[in-house]
C-alpha cells in the first residue's frame, strides 16, 4: 500500500540518520568499531567495556588471547557507563557496533529482541558450568545470547566500630518478618541512637535528631526492596520477558516493611536524604552515620579504602520465605552483524574459560561466572584489605534472583523510581505505589 515515494523517503531517512549518528560517533573520539583492517591476513576485533579498573585486567587477558591467536588483534575500547549505552545503540543503528562487548540484564531485552546480539548456540557451551542466575539473565527463547562473564551480589556491609561501641554482636543470622519481629529489626534498633543517646523504643526518642541509624532502607531496587519482596515470597515478574507482578499481597507487605523501617521504626534515614537521584546513602555509611548498609560487592572498592572504620560483610536478612538475594550477572555479547563472526565468537568463548576468569578474580575485580573460581576474589580482599567477603559467596549458593528481565525496563526505570520515591517519603501507600508502578511498567513491556 505504501507508495514508492514514501519508501524512498524512508530509506533516505534511515541513511541520513545512520550517517549523522556515525558522524556523531566519530566526533566523540572512537572510530566506531569498524571491524578493523584485514591487511596481512590479520583480523582486528574491537572489545568494548566501561570499567576502567577492569580494563587493567583485560589488557592482560587480551595479551594472552593474542599470543594464542597470532592472527587476531584485539583493540579495547573504554567508554564511561552512560556514554557506553548511547554509543552502543548508535553503533548498532549504523551497523558498526563493536565485535564483542559487555551486556547487563536490564539492557539485554532491548538489544536481544532487536537482533543485535549473536546466538551463542554454535559454541555449544556447557551452561551448567556457570552460575544459573547469570545464564538465566541472558537467555531469550531458550537460547543463550552471551557468554557469562561475572556476577555481583548484594550483601550486608556493616560498620564493626559502631557495633562495638553499642556493645552489639552481629547475630549469626538476621531474620525479619512483616510484623516487625525477628533479630534484624532488633539489632537495627539497638544501633539507632539520637543525640540524647536514646533508642527508637525509648520514651522521648527524637526521630528528627538521630545521630546514627542502625540501617539504611532506601529507594534502590537492586539492593533493597526487590530483596525484601523475594524473601517474603513476592514475585517481581510472572516469567522472564513477562509482566510485572510486584503488587501481590506478599510483595506489598515487603514494600511496607521497607518503608516502615524509615517512617515507623525510625531505624533508617528519612527518604528526603536518601531518595535518588540526590540520595547519599553510601556517603552516610562512609561517614559512620549508618551501621548496616546492603550493597553489591562491586561497591567494595569505593567503600572499603575510604572508610576510617572496620568494614564487615554479613549475610542479608532472612525473610519468611528464606533468604533471596539479587545476583546481577554480566555477559560477553557478540555483535550479530560482526564483520568477523568467527574470530569474535572465538574471543567470546575464550573469555568464558577458566584462565581469563581466574585472572579477573585473583586481581579482585569480580566474582567469575564460571563455577568454582570465587576463592581468588575472596583471597584478594582478605590479603589486601583484611576483609572477609565469603558471605557473598555463601549467598550465591542459596536462592538468588536476577533483576526483572523484560523489555522496556530502561524507560520504566525513571517512572518506577519516581513512584517509589513518593512511597518512601510516606506520601503514597505501598499498595497504591505498587499498583501504579505495575500498571506503568506493564504498559512499557512490548
Partner 1 sequence: MRWRRDWHAYLFIGPSLLGVLAFLLLPMVIVFVLSFFHWELLSPPTFAGLDNYRRLAGDGESWHSLWITVVYVLLCIPLQTVLALVLALLLNQRIKGVRVFRSLFVVPWMATPIVMGLVWNWIFDPRDGAINSALAVIGVTGPDWLSDATWALPAVALVNVWQYTGYNMLFFLAGLQGIPQELYDAAATDGATPRQRFWRVTLPLLNPTMFFVMVTNLIGAFQVFDTVFVMTNGGPSKSTEVINFKIFGTAFREFDFGYASTLSMLLFAVILGVTLVQVRFFGKRTTYDMS
Residues that bind partner 1 (CB under 8 A): 2, 6, 9-10, 13-14, 16-17, 20, 23-24, 27, 86, 89, 92-93, 110-111, 114-116, 270-273, 275-278, 280, 408, 410-411, 413-414, 417-418, 421-422, 425, 444
Task: Say if residues 329 and 130 touch (Cβ distance below 8 Å).
Answer: no
Find the shortest distance in angstroms from Cβ 243 to partner 1.
18
C-beta of 69 vs 86, nearer to partner 1: 86
Instruction: Give the nearer residue to partner 1 in terms of CB position, either 219 or 357.
Output: 219
**In the complex, least distance from residue 302 CB atom to partner 1, rounded to whole angstroms:** 16
Least distance in angstroms from the C-beta of 275 to partner 1: 6
Task: For residue 42, report the phi and psi dihedrals to the nearest 5 degrees.
Answer: -90, 140
* Integer CA distances (angstroms), 439 to 250, 276, 399, 435, in order: 18, 21, 28, 6
Nearer to partner 1 among residue 19 and residue 63 (C-beta): 19
- 151 sits in which H/E element: strand 147-159
- Kindly state the cell numbers that stand for 313: 560483610
Shortest distance (Å) from residue 73 CB to partner 1 = 28
Residue 56 has phi, psi (to 5 degrees) of -55, -45
If you search the block for the grid coordinates 550483601, which residue do you land on? 155
Q: Which CB atom, from 14 or from 384, has the smaller least distance to partner 1?
A: 14
Q: Cβ distance 146 to 381 under 8 Å?
A: no
State the SS3 of 285-342. Answer: HHCCCEEEEEEEHHHHHHHCCCCCCCEEEECCCEECCECEEEEEEEEEEEECCCCCHH
Return the number of the residue (207 or 301) whose C-beta is nearest partner 1: 207
What's the closest the beta carbon of residue 280 comes to partner 1, in angstroms? 8
Secondary element (H or E) of residue 400:
strand 399-401
Torsion angle of C-alpha atoms 117, 123, 128, 129, degrees rounded to 10: -100
Question: Which of 82/142 has CB closer to partner 1?
Answer: 82
**Nearest distance from C-beta of residue 234 to partner 1, angstroms:** 24
Amino acid at each position: 500500500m505504501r507508495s514508492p515515494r514514501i519508501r524512498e523517503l524512508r530509506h533516505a531517512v534511515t541513511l541520513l540518520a545512520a550517517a549523522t549518528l556515525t558522524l556523531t560517533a566519530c566526533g566523540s573520539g572512537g572510530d566506531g568499531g569498524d571491524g578493523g583492517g584485514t591487511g596481512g591476513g590479520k583480523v582486528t576485533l574491537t572489545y568494548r567495556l566501561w570499567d576502567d579498573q577492569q580494563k587493567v585486567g583485560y589488557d592482560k587477558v587480551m595479551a594472552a588471547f593474542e599470543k594464542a591467536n597470532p592472527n587476531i588483534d584485539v583493540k579495547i575500547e573504554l567508554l564511561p557507563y552512560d556514554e557506553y549505552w548511547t554509543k552502543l545503540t548508535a553503533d548498532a543503528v549504523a551497523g558498526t557496533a563493536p565485535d564483542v562487548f559487555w551486556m547487563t540484564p536490564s539492557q539485554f531485552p532491548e538489544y536481544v529482541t532487536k537482533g543485535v546480539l549473536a546466538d551463542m548456540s554454535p559454541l555449544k557451551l556447557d551452561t551448567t558450568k556457570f552460575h544459573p542466575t547469570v545464564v538465566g539473565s541472558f537467555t531469550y527463547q531458550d537460547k543463550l545470547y552471551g557468554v557469562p562473564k561475572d556476577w555481583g551480589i548484594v550483601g550486608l556491609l556493616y560498620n564493626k566500630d559502631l557495633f562495638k561501641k553499642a556493645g552489639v554482636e552481629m547475630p549469626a543470622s538476621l531474620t525479619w518478618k512483616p510484623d516487625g519481629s525477628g533479630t534484624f529489626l532488633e539489632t537495627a534498633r539497638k544501633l539507632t541512637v539520637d543525640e540524647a543517646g536514646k533508642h527508637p523504643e525509648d520514651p522521648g526518642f527524637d526521630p528528627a535528631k538521630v545521630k546514627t541509624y542502625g540501617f539504611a532502607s532506601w529507594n534502590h531496587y537492586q539492593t533493597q526492596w526487590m530483596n525484601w519482596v523475594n524473601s517474603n515470597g513476592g514475585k517481581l515478574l510472572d516469567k522472564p520477558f513477562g509482566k510485572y507482578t510486584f503488587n501481590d499481597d506478599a510483595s506489598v507487605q515487603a514494600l511496607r516493611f521497607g518503608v516502615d523501617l524509615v517512617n515507623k521504626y525510625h531505624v533508617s534515614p528519612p527518604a528526603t536524604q536518601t531518595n535518588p537521584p540526590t540520595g547519599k546513602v553510601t556517603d552516610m555509611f562512609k561517614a559512620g552515620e549508618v551501621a548496616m548498609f546492603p550493597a553489591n560487592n562491586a561497591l567494595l572498592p569505593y567503600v572499603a579504602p575510604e572508610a576510617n572504620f572496620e568494614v564487615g560483610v554479613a549475610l542479608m536478612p532472612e525473610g519468611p520465605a528464606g533468604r533471596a538475594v539479587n545476583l546481577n550477572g554480566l555477559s560477553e555479547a557478540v555483535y550479530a552483524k560482526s564483520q568477523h563472526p568467527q574470530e569474535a565468537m572465538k574471543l567470546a568463548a575464550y573469555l568464558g574459560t577458566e584462565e581469563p576468569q581466574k585472572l579477573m578474580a585473583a586481581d579482585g575485580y569480580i566474582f567469575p561466572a564460571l563455577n568454582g573460581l570465587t576463592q581468588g576474589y575472596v583471597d584478594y580482599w582478605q590479603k589486601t584489605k583484611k576483609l572477609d567477603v565469603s558471605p557473598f559467596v555463601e549467598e550465591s549458593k542459596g536462592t538468588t534472583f536476577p533483576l526483572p528481565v523484560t523489555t522496556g525496563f530502561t524507560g520504566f526505570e525513571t517512572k518506577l523510581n519516581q513512584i517509589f520515591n513518593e512511597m518512601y517519603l510516606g506520601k503514597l501507600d505501598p499498595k497504591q505505589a505498587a499498583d501504579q508502578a505495575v500498571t506503568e511498567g506493564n504498559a512499557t513491556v512490548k
